């Protein structure tokens, strides 16, 4: 197995800085738009799962009345 050269802490920090400069941060508008989208989807999915849960609950209650 080939021996890997260990990176010094100073070299590691230089590499982190180099990679950090490549990051493209979203604009404020993109962040707000994404947050609104996530909120809307969360509401839609919570209502969907509330409906499914209510339906299953009603089915189980009905099945228990048959016993």
Distance between CA atoms of 11 and 8, rounded to whole angstroms? 5
Q: Give Cα 53 to chain centroid, integer Å.
A: 23
Q: Show pLDDT as tens, one digit a residue, over the chain (67 residues).
A: 567 788 899 999 999 999 999 999 999 999 999 999 999 999 999 999 999 999 999 999 999 999 7
In this prediction the pTM is 0.63
């Amino acid at each position: 197995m080939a021996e890997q050269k260990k990176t010094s802490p100073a070299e590691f920090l230089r590499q982190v800085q180099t990679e950090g400069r490549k990051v493209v941060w979203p604009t404020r508008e993109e962040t707000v738009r994404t947050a609104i989208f996530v909120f809307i989807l969360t509401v839609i999915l919570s209502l969907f799962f509330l409906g499914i849960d209510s339906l299953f609950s009603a089915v189980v209650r009905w099945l228990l009345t048959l016993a």
